[in-house]
Amino acid sequence: MSKLINPHGKEQKLKPLLLEGGELKEEKKRAETLRKIPITSRETGDAIMMGIGGFTPLDGFMGEADWKGVVTDMQMTDGVFWPIPVTVSVTKEEADAIAAGEDVALVDEAHNTAMAIMTVTEKYTIDKELECKEVFRTTDPEHPGVAMVLEQKDVNLGGPVRVLSESFFPDEFPGIYQRPAEARAIFTERGWSSVAALQLRNPMHNSHAYLAKVAIEVTDGVYIHQLLGELKPGDIPADVRVRCIDALVQGYFRPERVVQGGYPLDMRYAGPREALLHAVFRQNYGCSHLIVGRDHAGVGDYYGPFDAQEIFDEVPKGALGTQPLKMDWTFYDYKLGEMASMKTSPHEDKAVLDDDGNYVSGARLLLSGTMLRKMLSEGKPVPPEFSKPEVVAILREYYAGLDEKVEVKLHGMATGKAKKKK
């Protein structure tokens, strides 16, 4: 009998929408005869998450009432908590051609793969500015999540889906890409009842490892769960991150306390709202806790360093099962000779390093994925206190093979100049 947290929603059981067997074969064939609706990478990832039960209890793309309720109150019309809208859009011309109740085939435009059959029950336009303001806390088109919304087509379609494919994820990431039921089976086999999810979109550096080890001390184990979908330019691709995590787990952890997995979403960079979404689908994966550190799911200087922690305090009691493990700003403290946080270190002076990465003076060496990427992209030495040598070697190999260098810009979170938690 599993002791894991129940899935999200009133029924408290996984609701995968992915067809199988003969039904899948028949519906794939039928999809060839239906009107084709091209969908983006983000929409494709959302469809897959509905297919594998990661977005339980959703049964399709949201209609207008659910869209508005989620945007303004983080709640669907049936009262279920949900923090970010899950929608699919079409052009006005495409919408006009679709009849009410018509079945259409949603086709991943990048890979020309039929992802789902959708029964269109609604066609509606949205206030994009409202969605951006509420979900991303900004309408700045330079924000990658805002840009994603502004680039959506004119009309949203609402209705239930039957999912036909998991795209390239099972083949490209064997052993890493996981359905919620698969992760739950692993946790149950290990006898775990409390599991902390560590969200990753960057290679795992020493701060990540420190957070994971703190979480292992208070739970049965850690689920290192990384995003396998699309990122912004300059971020490290998933296959490289997998190798980095493998190197860390094998050399620096008790492997029986760690499970590595991956999920098929694109980043939205919605900061606090996305942290809540991460908690929702981690509940479906069987995780009782989500590690929420500095600037979780943020980008640039759009969010305060601990906004993603504070938003959990706004969630009504009982609306969300997975709870945050709120972690303070972590760094290597040269005076202590170990990793520390603002809660544990008595030192406030920033560490100074020379051009070769050697320690000169001070205490705090702030660690961030952005800073690590910048050092590597510019060929600068990486201090051993920043990241393990096995990880640095893998990343140097990756950067050496790039045909075109991507400039990595530091923001307030990476330099320590952002506002501190009160």
**DSSP H/E element including 292:** strand 289-292
Long-range contacts of 407-412 (CB under 8 A, 24+ apart): 407/234, 407/377, 408/234, 408/370, 408/373, 408/374, 408/377, 409/374, 410/370, 410/371, 410/374, 411/300, 411/301, 411/370, 412/301
155 and 218 both lie in a single domain = no
Q: Name 105's bridge partners.
A: 36, 117
- 3-state helix vs strand vs coil in the chain, percent to 5: 35, 20, 45
Per the domain annotation, does 14 fall within a domain? no
92 and 213 both lie in a single domain = no
Listed residue (231, 220, 255, 260) closest to 243, CA to CA: 260
Cβ neighbour number for residue 61 with a 10 Å cutoff: 29
Q: One-letter amino acid identity for 147? A: A
Per the domain annotation, does 233 fall within a domain? yes
Catalytic option among 156, 202, 206, 284 = 202
Alpha helices, DSSP H, located in 133-253? 144-150, 169-172, 180-189, 206-218, 238-252
Catalytic option among 42, 162, 179, 201 = 201
Per-residue exposure over 364-390, b if at least 16 CB sit within 10 Å of its own CB, e if not: bbbbbbbbbbbbbbeeeebbebbbbeb
Per the domain annotation, does 1 fall within a domain? no
Say if residues 104 and 38 touch (Cβ distance below 8 Å): no
Spell out the per-residue pLDDT of the chain, length 422, in tens: 789 999 999 999 999 999 999 999 999 999 999 999 999 999 999 999 999 999 999 999 999 999 999 999 999 999 999 999 999 999 999 999 999 999 999 999 999 999 999 999 999 999 999 999 999 999 999 999 999 999 999 999 999 999 999 999 999 999 899 999 999 999 999 999 999 999 988 778 899 999 999 999 999 999 999 999 876 677 788 888 888 988 888 889 999 999 999 999 999 999 999 999 999 999 999 999 999 998 899 998 999 999 999 999 999 999 999 999 999 999 999 999 999 999 999 999 999 999 888 899 999 998 777 777 788 888 888 888 988 999 999 998 988 888 766 555 544 444 444 443 33
368 and 225 both lie in a single domain = yes
- Domain end call among 148, 166, 184: 166
Per the domain annotation, does 95 fall within a domain? yes
- CATH number of the domain encompassing residue 118: 3.10.400.10
Q: Which residues contact 205 (CB under 8 A, 6 or more apart)?
A: 367, 368, 369, 372, 386, 387, 391
The per-residue pLDDT for 260 is 93
- CATH number of the domain encompassing residue 216: 3.40.50.620
195 and 325 both lie in a single domain = yes
- How far, rounded to the nearest angstrom, does the alpha carbon of residue 113 sit from its chain's CA centroid? 23
312: DSSP letter:
G
Q: 294: domain range? A: 168-263+269-422
349 and 235 both lie in a single domain = yes
181 and 116 both lie in a single domain = no
68 and 216 both lie in a single domain = no
Per the domain annotation, does 13 fall within a domain? no
Per the domain annotation, does 2 fall within a domain? no
Say if residues 56 and 284 touch (Cβ distance below 8 Å): yes
* Cis before 57 (ω within 30): yes
Cα–Cα distance measured from residue 37 to residue 94, given in angstroms and rounded to the nearest whole number: 8
Per the domain annotation, does 174 fall within a domain? yes
- How far, rounded to the nearest angstrom, does the alpha carbon of residue 28 sit from its chain's CA centroid? 29
155 and 201 both lie in a single domain = no
Q: Is 279 helix (H, G, I), strand (E, B) or coil?
A: helix
301 and 397 both lie in a single domain = yes
Max distance between CA atoms of the chain, in angstroms, equals 70
* Orientation of helix 238-252 relative to helix 389-400, angle to 10°: 160
Say if residues 225 and 197 touch (Cβ distance below 8 Å): yes
Cβ neighbour number for residue 68 with a 10 Å cutoff: 19
Catalytic residue flag (residue 201): yes
Per the domain annotation, does 332 fall within a domain? yes
202 and 340 both lie in a single domain = yes
User: How far from 336 is each of 136, 350, 401, CA to CA, in Å?
Assistant: 38, 13, 37
- Domain end call among 104, 137, 166: 166
249 and 366 both lie in a single domain = yes
Number of structural domains the chain divides into: 2
Q: What would the DSSP string read from start to end of 349-405? A: PBPEE-TTS-EEE-SEEE--HHHHHHHHHTT----TTTS-HHHHHHHHHHHHT-SS-
The per-residue pLDDT for 348 is 94
221 and 254 both lie in a single domain = yes
pTM above 0.75, yes or no: yes
Listed residue (161, 180, 260, 178) closest to 6, CA to CA: 180
- Domain end call among 166, 193, 216: 166
Length of the chain: 422
Cα–Cα distance measured from residue 17 to residue 43, given in angstroms and rounded to the nearest whole number: 15
